[in-house]
Amino acid sequence: MPTRKQRRRSQKERRHEYETVWVDAEGNELDEPPEELDAAPAAEKSNGAKPKAKPKSEQRGGRSVREPPTPSWQRAAKRSLILGVVIFVFFYLAGSKGHHNLGSALLISLLYTALFVPFSFMIDRFAHNRWQRRMEQQGQKQQPRKR
């Protein structure tokens, strides 16, 4: 069932009868389209169909997708240390009922830091592998195989 907006659009299209009129350089109406329009490629003429989507390279403005860095444990550890400091400060300041417990905040932040290192590494590896697969697929599409 069409939506209210779709019904209004179709009613509007039925209300207005559009007629294409060709006018030459002198201002005279022509029965047939001028030769210049006949010479135009059929792809450029609109036949009521929706315009086709642009290729991906044009959609992104011709920019290439940035390559994610190769995953490394060192980078994952640096990120987790930054997260650990933030977690420590949060749990220290948000201690139970105003009592700032240094030991419990340190323990929780160390636990989160230790768990975040492999998690961060796996996310980096996933992103890098996905980027590599995408580049391989684009390479296969651009260069057809010879038989």
pTM, whole model, 2 decimals? 0.50
DSSP assignment string, 84-98: HHHHHHHHHHT-GGG
What's the pLDDT at 23?
Answer: 81
Q: Which amino acid is at 115?
A: L
What's the pLDDT at 55?
Answer: 54
CB atoms under 10 Å from CB of 121, counted, come to 19
What's the pLDDT at 146?
Answer: 56
What's the pLDDT at 4?
Answer: 93
Largest separation between any pair of C-alpha atoms in the chain: 91
Residues of the chain with pLDDT under 70: 17-18, 37-65, 96-98, 140-147
Joined tokens for residue 81:
């240390």
What's the pLDDT at 49?
Answer: 57
